[in-house]
Structure 1
Amino acid sequence: MEKETRIERTRTFAWEDPMRLMEQGKAMSGFEYLKAIQHGTLPPPPIACLIGMELVEVEEGRVVFTGRPAEYHYNPLGTVHGGVAATLLDSAVGCAVHSKLPLGVWYTTIELKINYLRPLTAETGTVYAEGKVIHVGGRIATAEGKLIDAAGKLYAHATTTCLVMRS
């Protein structure tokens, strides 16, 4: 049996030291941190470059990411992989929570529920993932999100539960 040649993955995106960026982020509220990413003062995380998403709106308790489904997002069935929609929605709902957190307070997703309503394709065009906070408490936060196209057609919606953590 012939041995397979494995291709080693190389770093594709130049991103500053994540620990240094986290330290910068700890000096800001969640809202300030997200605004810095939106305005380019801080770089977007590599996942944004990989998926092709952009943080376009940031308010306290609400954020919007855009993405443009492409053929390279396709699964074997010829539609955009559900993980792309999940990533857009997880980012939107999580960052909506982050936008409400004060200095020194972070979050992590502990649950994400998505309902897929129709497939995304390269012909869908730009989609908008909007996340809105439902509740932020001392330990738990919840948010909801929707994924729509430019005409307002709903492709998926989601809810999240996040764990709130203090430094």
Structure 2
Amino acid sequence: MTASSRDARLATWIAEEQALRSQLAAPGTLSLAEVAAMAPMDFFDGIGRGDLPSPPINAVLGFTPVHWANGLFVFQGAPDHSHYNPLGSVHGGYIATLLDSCMGCAVHTRLKPGQGYTTADLRVSYIRALRSEAGPVRAEGRIIHVGRSTALAEGRLYDVDERLYAVASTTCLILDMNTARQSDDARVR
């Protein structure tokens, strides 16, 4: 990649993140009933437009959803020294969280209203140390398979130069959120 094409790509990444970040609402959450009633793409589009609250974890770790489609989800973040471990690089937990988030959201895009998911298994392979000098990174999750009770997804974390920092895979359990909501309602009584 030439220096000018890298600079152009970096400028595009930064502009995309700033445009989406400017639209996001304040951090917050919806009730399980509200989420269960929505089609997944309507849910993510609502967050992206600022009609629904932005997930609090995004603010804590400083990452932003930049692209989503059926079976695909991409977050962008710029790790800084607050994400460092004692050895002077970004903590593996930051990387694992971004990968878990993008893969889980990719699974969510393929669910039906009333369905939810939870991570049953997360496997992360770290390829190289990530430092703040890398600039923005993207965590991209893609669906491998969605069945009736489980879904599989893969993810990768890379920088603007396409340097790969980690790859991951997940198995998610698909849940009936209406049943979970009824159980929560029964416990409250």
Give the shorter-chain TM-score range. 0.7 to 0.9
Q: In the alignment, what sits opposite 1:85?
A: 95
1:102 alignment partner, SS class: coil
Shift of 1:15: 4.3
Cα distance in 2 for residues equivalent to 1:147 and 1:71: 18
The structure 1 residue matched to 2:127, chosen from 112, 117, 129, is 117
Q: In the alignment, what sits opposite 1:6?
A: none
Unaligned stretches of 5+ in structure 1? Answer: 1-13
CA RMSD of aligned residues (A): 1.2
Shift of 1:27: 1.8
TM-score after normalising by structure 2: 0.77
CA contact (8 A) 2:124 2:168 kept: yes
Unaligned stretches of 5+ in structure 2? Answer: 1-25, 179-189
Q: In the alignment, what sits opposite 1:162?
A: 172
Cα distance in 1 for residues equivalent to 2:129 and 2:54: 27
How big is each residue's C-alpha offset from its partner over 1:134-160, in whole Å with a ceiling of 9 and x where there is no partner? 000000100001000011111000000
Q: In the alignment, what sits opposite 1:126?
A: 136
The structure 2 residue matched to 1:31, chosen from 26, 41, 66, is 41
Are 1:152 and 2:159 matched, yes or no? Answer: no
CA contact (8 A) 1:109 1:162 kept: yes
Cα distance in 1 for residues equivalent to 2:174 and 2:74: 21
Are 1:99 and 2:109 matched, yes or no? Answer: yes
The structure 1 residue matched to 2:83, chosen from 66, 69, 73, is 73
Q: In the alignment, what sits opposite 2:59?
A: 49
Q: In the alignment, what sits opposite 1:8?
A: none
From the superposition, tell whether residues 21 and 38 of structure 1 become closer, same or farther in structure 2 (CA, over 3 Å): farther
Cα distance in 2 for residues equivalent to 1:87 and 1:138: 25
More strand by share: 1
From the superposition, tell whether residues 15 and 68 of structure 1 become closer, same or farther in structure 2 (CA, over 3 Å): closer
More helix by share: 2
Shift of 1:124: 0.7
Identity of aligned residues (%): 47
CA contact (8 A) 2:27 2:59 kept: no
Runs of 4 or more above 4 Å deviation: none
Shift of 1:67: 0.6
